[in-house]
Structure 1
Amino acid sequence: MPEHDPLEAGDHVVLIDGSAYIFRAYHALPPLTRSSDKLPVGAVAGFCNMLWKLVRAGQNGGGFSPAPTHLAVVFDKSEQTFRKDIYPLYKAQRPDLPEDLRPQFPLIREATRAFDLACVEQSGFEADDLMATYAELAKAKGALVTIISSDKDLMQLVDARVRMYDPMKDKAIGTEEVFEKFGVAPEKVVDVQSLAGDSVDNVPGVPGIGIKTAAQLLAEYGDLDTLLARASEIKQTKRRENLIEFADQARLSRELVTLKRDVVLDVPLDDIAVIEPAGGKLIAFLKAMEFSTLTRRVAEAYGIDPAAIEPDPGLKAGGAETVLVAAGIDPETHASASTPADEGRATAGAGPALTPQALSAARVAQGAATPVDRSRYETVTTLARLNEWIARAIEIGVVAVDTETTGLDPMQADLVGFSLATAPNEACYVPLVHKGGDEGLFSEGLLPGQIPPMEAIAALKPLLEHPGVLKIGQNLKYDWLILQRQGIEVAPYDDTMLLSYVLDAGASPHGMDPLSIRWLGHTPIKYEEVCGKGKGQIRFDRAPIDRATEYAAEDADVTLRLWRVLKPRLAAEGKANVYETLERPLVTVLARMEARGIMIDRQLLSRLSGEFAQGMGRLEAEISEMAGESFNPGSPKQLGDILFGKMQIPGGRKTPTGAWSTGADVLEELAEAGHALPRRILDWRQLQKLKSTYTDALPSYVNPETGRVHTSFALAATTTGRLSSSEPNLQNIPVRTEEGRKIRKAFIAAPGHKLISADYSQIELRLLAEIADTPSLRQAFQDGLDIHAMTASEMFGVPIEGMPGEVRRRAKAINFGIIYGISAFGLANQLAIPREEAGAYIKRYFERFPGIRAYMDETRAFAREHGYVETLFGRRCHYPDISAKNPSIRAFNERAAINARLQGSAADIIRRAMARMDAALARAGLAARMLLQVHDELIFEVPDDEIGATVPVVREVMELAPLPALSLKVPLKVDARAADNWDEAH
C-alpha cells in the first residue's frame, strides 16, 4: 500500500470496526484452542483471516478504489463512556462476554499491531465515535472514507464521501442502501433511531414506534424537533399520546445514538497512514498463535522462509501470559480478575483491565512473578548475529540498552561493550575490547571472538537513532554521552531512573539495584562480583567475557523489566506530564551541557590555594592561642576534648559512639552564644573546604582532550527536583563570602567570548506570593517594588523612601526565613536580637500576611495526610517521615514540605526553561551555549558580538517558562549580565 502522510485531498481512509470483526470472527468459527497450552484462539484466528483477506485486497486494489492511504482498526474500550453518564442503563441488557472470548481481546489487539496497522481505542468513547471523528476530519481535507462494518449506527455517517462496506456480504453500503434500511436519507437516520429506539443497546425511543412508522412521520413533519413540537396534530390517539408523553425520552435517545464527530483524538488522523507491513513480525505472531495455514500463506506472499522466523517469545505458550496479565486476565484460568460489573458487556472490547490503573497493577504483579534466568543471556561475537538482534529490536519497537566502560567519567571513559534486551530473559552482551588476563595486567592483547568496535558501532547506530524504536536506559545520560562520543545520538528514549524519580521522589531510592529488589524481587550481580574490589579490583575490559555477559545483559534485562513496571504508573497516577515536560527532555539538555564544559583559570586557582593556606595558618595560630595548646583543628576528637573537656564550655552533647559532637550546628550555637574559639574553627573549616574542594581540586578535573571542566549533573538526587552536580560539585560554591566569589572568578569564558549569568530574581518569594495568594506581596512584585522594603514598610510602618538599611535587612531576613520555616531562635541568631523580639517579628509578619500562615498550615496538613506535597506543575515530593514520633524529625519534614512547594516549583520552572533554551537560541541563529545550571541561575558562553542579541532571548525563555501550563499572576524577573568570568557576570 502506498504511504501518504499527512493526509491530502484524494486520499482514501479505511476504518475497520474492530469490535464487529471480533464478534463475527468468534461466531463464524467453531471453538479453537492452541494445542500447546489450550489458550482459546478461535476468534483470533478468524480475525486474522479476515484481516489478511482485507489487507491483501487493499494491496492488490481489489475491493478498494483508490487503494487505502490511511487505515486503522478501531476498538471499543470498556470504561464508562459519556453515554453511560447520560443514561446509566445504556447497553445494560447486553450479555456478559463468553468466558473463552475474554482472553482473546488483548491477543486480537496484538494481531492488529502484527499487521502493522494502527490499533485505536480511547477512553470515554465508543469505536463509532472515533470513526465518526476520523471520517469528519478526512472529509474536510477532501479524502474518501470507507468504513468496514455493517453496523446500522454508523449509517448516519454515509454521504458522498463516506461509504460503508460489509465484508461478510461483500456489499457496499451507500445512500441508497441506507434508505432501503431506514426509509430515510443518512442525515435523518439519527431521528429515526431516536423514535424507534434500539432494544440491543437499550436505547428507549418512543413506545409503539418502529423504524417504518418513524420514517413515515419524518417524511411528513421533516425532523424530530418539528414532529415533537406538533405531536398534538397526530390523528392516531395512542401514537399522539406516546409522542407527547415520551418526548424527552426521544430527545434522550437522540443524544445516545448521535455519534460524536469532534473527539479530541489520542491518535491523530495523520498517524494512521498506511505503512509497508513487516512480514517477519506477522509471521512471528502467527507462529506464536500456532496458525500454520495462515503462516504459510503470509510467508508465500512475502517470499519469506517461515522456518527462519522464530515465534514471538512474548506471545507463544508461556509468554502470552504477559499480554493476558496486562489485560487483567488470569493466564491459568483465562478468567478476568475484575468483577462482572466492571468487565462490561459483550461489546466492551478488551475489558476494563486495560485501564492505566489495572495495567499498572498487572505489570507490578508480573514483574515480581517472572524470574531472571541468566543462563539464557547470549554473548554476541559476530556481526551477523548482532544484526539479527538489531532486526529483532526494530521489529519489536522497544529495546533496553546499557554500556560497559573503563570508568565513571563519561567524557573520558572508553567503551568496552554494550548490552541489549528485547524481552524478559531475552538479552545479550556485545564485548568489543576485552583483553586477555593471562598476559599480564597491562597486556593489550584482545580476547578472540569480539566484533571490531567500528563495525559494531556502525551496525548499532541506525537502531539507537531509529525514530520508531524506543530505547530504554537506567541513568541514560551517562550512556548517551558515551555513545555520543561514538557518533551516536540516542533517540527516542525512556529512563527508568527518571520514571522512578517522578513517581517516588523522597520515598525510595532510584538506583537500578534497589529498584530491582523492590519491584522485581531480584538482586542483580554486583560489580565487585565480576571485577573484584579494593586494590585487587580490575577494570571491566579485564573481566572474563562469560561473567561480563551475565552482568551486562542482566543490567539491560532488569532495565527493560523496570520500564514495563514503572511506565504504566505514570498514566495510572497522573504523572505523565511531569515526566514528559520536566524530566525526559533534560537528559539530552544536561548531557550536552556536560559535554561542553567550562574553562577555568588554573593560575588564579593556584594563587587562591596559597592565600587560603596562609589564612588557615593564621587561624591555626589564633586557635592554638585561644585553646592554650596546639592541636589539629581538623580532628573532631581533639576539638571536642578542648571545647568540652579542657575549656568546660557548656552545651556539649555526645554522639551515640560516646564522642563529643562538633558538627557545624553545634559550633554555630556556641559561636552565637559568644564563644570565640568555635567561630574561629568554623572560619578555618570554611577555608579548608574551599581549598581542598575547589582551589586544589578543580585543576585535576580539567579534561586533557578538551581543556575544560565537565561537571556531572544529577537529575534524580533531590526530593524537590533541584539539580545537583558532582565531580566537581559546582552547586555549593559560597556566593555570599568574599572567598567564594574569588573562586567564581576562576570560571572564565573562552577567548572571544563572554559568560552570561541569567538568574531568576527572588523566584521563591514570588512563588510564595503566588501560591499563598497574598495580595500586597503580589501587587508589589507586579509593580516592580523593592519587596524587602515593602515588607518592612508593611510590618514596621516605616516609609519606603529613606528607609534605614537595618530595617530593610530585618525584613529581608524574615522574607527568606519564612520560606525555610525559620524559628524565633534562628531569626534571633541571624539578626543578633533577643528571641522574644524575633518571635514578635514573625507573629507580626503572619498577622500582616495571613495568607502565608494559611498556606503553611494547609501544606503541613496535606503532607501529614498524604505523605507528600505537589509543586505547581504536579511534581510530587514525598516526606514519609512527616508523621514520625520524634518531634525534631517531624518538624524537619514539615519545614521541608512547606519549602518544597516553593523550591520544587522554582526547580520545575528552570527545567522548563532549560528544555526550551537550545531550540530558542538556534531559532534566533545564535551561537550561545548553555554551560551550567546552579539553582536559579543559568550560565552561558557567548561570542562577544552576540551578547546584545542573546540576553533578550535568554530572558524571554526564562521569564515565560511556566507558559502554557501555568499563567502566573506574579511576574518572573530575570537578571542577566555578561562578563569575562562567572563572578563578575553574577
Structure 2
Amino acid sequence: MPIIHTQSMDPTKMHTAQKLWVYNALDALVTFEVRDALIGQMDPVAKRVYDFSKSLQAPVLAMMRKGFRVDLGERQKTIDEFDKRAAKLQRRLDQMTLAIWGKILNPRSPAQCISFFYDFLKLPAVHKTDKKTKVRKRTVDRDALEKLGNYYIGSIFVSHILTIRELTKLASTLRTELDGDRMRCSFNIAGTETGRFSSSASAFDTGTNLQNQTERLRRIYVADPGHKLAVFDLKTGESFAVGLKCHLLGLGRRYLDACFSGDLHTEVTKLVWPGLPWSSGKTAKEIAEQVFYRHFTYRDMAKRGGHGTNYYGTPPTMAKHLKVDTKVVEAFQTAYFKAFPEIREWHTWTAGELQTKAELTSIMGRRRHFFGRVRDDNTLREAIAYDPQSCIADYTNTWLRRVYENVRACDILQQGHDALVVQYRADHEREVVEQIIYEASQVRLGGDHPDGFPIPAEAKIGWNWGKIDPKHKMHSDGNPFGLKDYSGKDDREYIEPPSNQSRLLDRKFSR
C-alpha cells in the first residue's frame, strides 16, 4: 500500500486515480481528526446525544436499503388523474383570461400573474422582501394569492391557479425516479436542530422526501407480496410533552390532566366552553362536534386553535391560517388561557431562559443553543416549539431503535416524526402489532424523571399507506385495502396487484 505524505505532495504530478485516492483518504482522515478534537470538548449532555445519534445508524440504514414498494399501476393512474384535472382547469382559465385580458395566463409564471392581478385587474399589490437581496417586490406566492382571493373579482382566478399549481406539484412528486418499483430516500439523523430526521433523494439520486407525502399520494405505497403494513403513531404526543413540561416547571397540570382524559380535544372543549349543554344527555364528543363557526366545530377549534396557541400563535396569524375572523381567535385564546394558565406561564418562562441563557434543554435531555435575536418573537416561537418537538423526536427514535432490536418479524419502512411504518407477513400480524405497541410503552417521556410516563401508541393496518375512505372523500373506490384501526383481526380479503420484479437491494439480509 503506498504511503502519501500530504504535506509535501504535488497534485500536478499525480494521475487522476491518485488524486481521487488522496481526496477520499483526506475526507476520511481529516474528519476523524476533527472528531477526536470535538470528543474532548463534549460535556455529558452532548456526549449522550452524540451516542444516541450513532445508535440510530443501523435502523436508519435498514430503512434506506429497504425502501417502500410502489404500485406502478396506481401511480400512473394517479398521475393521469392529476394531469387530466389540471388540464381541464387550465382550459377554463384560458377561456376566462382570453375573454377579459386578451391572452392566456400561465399559472406557474410569477411575471404573468403579477401583470394580470396588479397591472390589469388593479388589485392592491402584496409585497415581500427578498431574503438575499433585501429588495421589497410584488409577489404572487401562495400567501399573496390567498389575500387576492378575498377580492370578488380575483377569487375565481385565484382558485384555479392555486389548484393547478397544487395538482402539478403532486404529479411532479409522483414522477420522481424510482429504483425499479421502490421509492428510496436518504435519512439524515442530524438533519435538524430538534432531533427530527430530515430526508431527501437517495444516494443514487432516486426517490424523494418520504416524510412529506400527503394523504392523497400515500395510496401508491404498498406492502411487499405476502405482507401487510402497520402504521403506529403517538396519540397527541406533542401535547403530552407540553403538559409534562408545564408540570415539571411547577406551573400546574390541568393541561396534562386533559391529555390523560383519553380525548384531549373534547376535554379542552369542555374547559374552554363550560356553558355548552354538557348535561343534555348527549355524549361529550357529540356536543363538542356541534358547529362553532362556519365550517369549524367546537372540537375542531379546540384542536387546531389549541395547537397554535401552545406554540405562541398570535390571533392575526392564526386567523389567517384557520380562515376565521381575528376576533374569534382572540376570544378563543382568552378562554384557553383561563382554562390552562400554565401555558402562558410556560411561554413567559421560555422567554426568560432564552434571554438569559440563549439555550434550552428538553425534558428528554437534548440541548439547543439559539443564535437568533433572543428578544425577537420568531426566535421565541422556535424556542417554545423546540421542547415538545424535540421530545417527541427523541421518544420516537428511541422507540424506532427498540423495534429494530427486538421485533425481528418486521421491516421498518418509514419514520414520520411521531410515527413508524412497518411491514410484516400477514400471519404474524398480532405478534408484530402488539409487540411494537409494547415497545412504545417501554419508552418514557421525561427520560429518567420520576414523573415521566409512556405515551399511548395507536396502530392502523392495511395493504397500502393510504387511509380507508368509506365516504369516498379522497378515493372514488373508498380505498378498500387502506389503513384502518387495528382491532385484533381484519376480515378483508386482499387481492394482490401484479408483482414487480425483485431487485438485488430488496433481498433480506441478517442483522
Q: TM-score, normalization: structure 1?
A: 0.42
Match of 2:185 among 696, 704, 711: 711
AA at the equivalent of 1:590: V
Match of 2:38 among 556, 560, 566: 566
Map of 1:307-386 to 2, 5 A cutoff? 374-375=6-7
TM-superposition CA deviations, 1:247-266 (whole Å, max 9, x none): xxxxxxxxxxxxxxxxxxxx
Residues 1:794 and 2:271 aligned together: yes
Partner of residue 928 from structure 1, selected from 402, 405, 410: 410
Q: Aligned residue for 1:691?
A: 171
Q: CA offsets, 1:803-844, max 9 Å, x none? A: 115111111121221233322113323444321231121122
In structure 2, the CA distance between the partners of 1:657 and 1:620, relative to structure 1 (3 Å rule), is: farther
Distance apart, 1:546 and its partner CA: 2.6
In the other structure, the counterpart of 2:145 is: 667
Give the aligned residue type for 1:578: V
CA contact (8 A) 1:637 1:660 kept: no
Cα pair 1:931 1:940 within 8 Å, conserved: yes
Aligned mates of 2:166, 2:345 — CA distance in 1: 38
Show structure 1 runs of 4+ deviating over 6 A. Answer: none
- Contact 2:407 2:435 (C-alpha < 8 Å) held by counterparts: yes
Aligned to 2:49: 578
1:483-503 per-residue CA deviation (whole Å, 9 max, x = no partner) reads xxxxxxxxxxxxxxxxxxxxx
Counterpart amino acid of residue 765 in structure 1: S
Is 1:782–2:257 an aligned residue pair?
no
Structure 1 residue 547: Cα displacement: 1.6
Measure, in 2, the Cα distance between the counterparts of 1:768 and 1:562. Answer: 37
Q: Kindly tell me: are residues 783 and 725 of structure 1, through their superposed partners in 2, closer, same or farther at Cα, counting changes over 3 Å?
A: same
1:588 aligns with 2:67: no
Whether the 8 Å contact between 2:261 and 2:267 is mirrored in structure 1 is no
Counterpart of 1:715 in structure 2: which amino acid? I
Do the aligned partners of 1:764 and 1:903 also contact (CA within 8 Å) in 2? yes
The aligned counterpart of 1:701 is: 178
For 1:860 and 1:548, locate their aligned partners in 2 and report how far apart those are by CA, in whole Å. Answer: 50
Q: 1:834: which partner in 2? A: 325
Does the CA contact (< 8 Å) of 2:442 and 2:454 recur in 1?
Answer: no
Distance in 2 separating the partners of 1:594 and 1:831: 36
1:908 matched residue in structure 2:
394
The residue identity in structure 2 corresponding to 1:596 is K
> Is residue 604 from structure 1 mapped to residue 79 from structure 2 by the alignment?
no
Change (3 A) 1:547 1:870: same
Pairs within 5 Å for 1:473-484: none
Q: CA offset at residue 602 of structure 1?
A: 0.8
Confirm or deny that 1:844 pairs with 2:335.
Answer: yes
Q: Relative to 1, partners in 2 of residues 1:961 and 1:651: Cα closer, same or farther, differing over 3 Å?
A: farther
Matched, 1:860 2:334: no
Percent identity (aligned):
24
- Cα separation, 2, equivalents of 1:658 and 1:882: 22
Gaps of 5+ in 1: 1-371, 379-524, 531-541, 885-889
C-alpha distance in structure 1 between counterparts of 2:6 and 2:303, whole Å: 60
Is 1:982 equivalent to 2:452 in the alignment?
Answer: no
Q: CA deviation at 1:683?
A: 1.9
Indicate how the Cα distance of structure 1 residues 552 and 763 shifts in structure 2: closer, same or farther if over 3 A, else same: same
Distance of 2:379 and 2:149 partners within structure 1: 26
Do 2:305 and 2:329's aligned partners in 1 also have CA atoms closer than 8 Å?
Answer: no
State the match for 1:62 in structure 2.
none
The equivalent residue for 2:382 is 896
The answer on 1:557 being equivalent to 2:61 is no
Query: Is 1:770 aligned to residue 244 of structure 2?
Result: yes
Q: Aligned pair in 2 of structure 1 residues 543, 718: CA closer, same or farther (>3 Å)?
A: farther
Q: Is the 8 A contact 1:906 1:936 kept in 2?
A: yes
Deviations 1:203-231 (A, max 9, x none): xxxxxxxxxxxxxxxxxxxxxxxxxxxxx
Q: How does 1:529-544 map to 2 (within 5 A)?
A: 544=16
Contact conserved, 1:928 with 1:942, CA < 8 A, in 2? yes
Contact 1:377–1:549 (CA under 8 A) maintained in structure 2: no
- Counterparts of 1:116-515 in structure 2, within 5 Å, are 374-375=6-7
| Preserved CA contact (<8 Å) 1:604 1:746 | yes
1:819 corresponds in structure 2 to 310
Partner of 1:760: 234
Distance 1:659 1:623, change over 3 A: farther
Matched, 1:873 2:364: yes
- Counterpart of 2:281 in structure 1 is none
Which of 711, 723, 745 is the equivalent residue of 2:197?
A: 723
**What is the SS of the residue equivalent to 2:194?**
coil
Deviation of 1:763 (Å) = 0.5
> CA shift at 1:783, angstroms?
3.4
Contact 1:641 1:660 in 2 (8 A): no
Q: Distance in 1 between matches of 2:309 and 2:459?
A: 27
Q: Please list the CA deviations of residues 151-170 of structure 1 after superposition, one character each: whole Å capped at 9, or x if unmatched.
A: xxxxxxxxxxxxxxxxxxxx
Return the offset for 1:646: 1.3
Q: Which has the higher contact order (CA 8 A, sep 6+)?
A: 2
Change (3 A) 1:968 1:940: farther
* C-alpha displacement of 1:557: 2.3
The one-letter amino acid of 2:465's match is W
SS at match of 2:458: strand
Q: Which amino acid aligns with 1:892?
A: N
Residues 782 and 971, structure 1, Cα contact 8 Å, conserved in 2: no
Q: 2:127 aligns with which of 650, 653, 667?
A: 653
- In structure 2, C-alpha distance between the alignment counterparts of 1:902 and 1:377, rounded to whole Å: 52
One-letter amino acid of the counterpart of residue 810, structure 1: M
Over 3 Å counting, the alpha-carbon distance change for 1:780 and 1:680 in structure 2 is same
Equivalent residue number for residue 220 of structure 1 = none
Deviation at 1:376, TM superposition (A): 5.8
In our comparison, the structure showing a higher alpha carbon Rg is 1
